[in-house]
Amino acid sequence: MKWSRGLVLLGAFAVLIGISGCAAVPSIGVTDQRKPGVPEGVDIVPFMEGPAVVAYDDGSIDVVTWGSGSCPAEAASAEKDGVEFVVVFTTNSEGVCTADMAPTTHTFSAESVGSRVPETATVRFQEYDDEIVVDVIRAEERGGISP
């Protein structure tokens, strides 16, 4: 009796491990990092301003988008030409997504942005055929906005 119970538990454990190995890891796209919330020290009014773009002295940029917290937008591409920074987002609506309209911060390194931080940025959402041009907010360092 003890052996059969042990084998059943071992089999159940193996199935759980196998299933978890098949779980899809959410993609962050072309960003260097993606995390929930807004950057520290940035005052952003939800929904009133649309996406926000924050540039830092180290040359990196944060793009804040609003949408499902469980299915955040994914940066499909980021282009720079020295004058403008263009980010194209897609959404992943496979599975169950919340309708919480949560902020998500997408961080792009200085290498992704280029040697010149732009004055404006264009944020596109493919599924909605929507394009928004926003002024880039300047910050001295992460966690602090310039006066």
Q: Is the pLDDT of residue 4 over 90?
A: no
**134-144 pLDDT per residue, tens:** 999 888 656 55
Q: What's residue 115's pLDDT?
A: 76
pLDDT of residue 59: 87
Give me the residue spans of the domains in the chain: 27-145
Confidence of residue 29 (pLDDT cuts 50, 70, 90): confident
Q: Which contacts qualify for 135-139: CB closer than 8 Å, 24 or more apart?
A: 135/53, 136/53, 136/54, 136/55, 136/61, 136/85, 137/42, 137/52, 137/53, 137/54, 137/55, 138/54, 138/55, 139/39, 139/41, 139/42, 139/54, 139/55, 139/56, 139/57
pLDDT value of position 147: 37
Residue 49 has pLDDT above 70, yes or no: no
Q: How confident is the model at residue 132 (pLDDT cuts 50, 70, 90)?
A: very high
Per the model's pLDDT, the better-predicted residue between 13 and 21 turns out to be 13
* pLDDT tens string 69-122: 999 999 999 988 767 889 999 987 777 889 888 999 999 998 888 778 788 999
pLDDT at 9: 53
d(Cα 105, Cα 118) in Å, to the nearest integer? 18
